[in-house]
């Protein structure tokens, strides 16, 4: 079952209209409709929110690995698979340059596949703070990988 089907199934099983779901998620009914038709997909934080709203694990909606690695995909630039050995060496070096907590948060997300909620609980910070740290770290990684390619 795909993400669009899962959202539709959970919404109808909980007797919610698209409008009611949209209100609970602070999005438009039109966007919920697009999700259910598969025309658009919610981002990972929204998928976590949807899963939490319905009391189901994220994996009920989508394979967490696919979404987590999609987040990292933008860092790889042209989309061509990098040489695995070089990438591993570079990532290890990149992580060693980061402040310890930032590196730990990055590893919790992209190696241990933890949700932003789990990371926030572990470090006693808000989920938005975790998302901000991850976003800034991905941007730094993308920039550093571009420099490495030169």
What structural domains and CATH numbers belong to the chain?
Answer: 3-62 (1.10.260.40), 65-149 (1.10.10)
Instruction: Give me the half-sphere count of Cα atoms (radius 13 Å) on the Cβ side of residue 81.
Output: 4
Q: Token pair of 7, please?
A: 């959202």
Measured distance CA(123)–CA(6) in Å, rounded = 31
Q: What is the pLDDT of residue 77?
A: 60
Q: Position of tokens 């259910």?
A: 36
Measured distance CA(96)–CA(76) in Å, rounded = 19
Q: Position of tokens 């998302």?
A: 131
Q: What is the pLDDT of residue 78?
A: 57
What is this structure's pTM? 0.63
Q: What is the pLDDT of residue 136?
A: 95
Q: What is the pLDDT of residue 10?
A: 97
Q: What is the pLDDT of residue 150?
A: 67
Q: Token pair of 35, please?
A: 């999700």
Measured distance CA(50)–CA(104) in Å, rounded = 26
pLDDT beneath 50: ranges in the chain = none
Q: What is the pLDDT of residue 137?
A: 95
């Amino acid at each position: 079952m795909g993400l669009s089907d899962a959202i539709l199934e959970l919404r109808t099983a909980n007797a919610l209209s698209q409008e009611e779901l949209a209100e609970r998620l602070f999005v438009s009914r039109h966007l919920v409709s697009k999700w259910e038709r598969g025309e658009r997909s919610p981002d990972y934080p929204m998928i976590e929110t949807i899963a939490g709203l319905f009391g189901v694990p994220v994996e009920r909606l989508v394979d967490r690995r696919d979404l987590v690695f999609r987040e990292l995909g933008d860092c790889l630039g042209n989309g061509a698979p990098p040489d695995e050995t070089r990438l591993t060496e570079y990532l290890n070096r990149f992580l060693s340059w980061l402040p310890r907590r930032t590196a730990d948060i990055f590893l919790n997300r992209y190696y241990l596949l933890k949700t932003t909620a789990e990371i926030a609980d572990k470090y006693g910070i808000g989920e938005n703070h975790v998302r901000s740290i991850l976003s800034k770290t991905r941007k730094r990684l993308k920039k550093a990988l571009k420099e490495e390619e030169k």
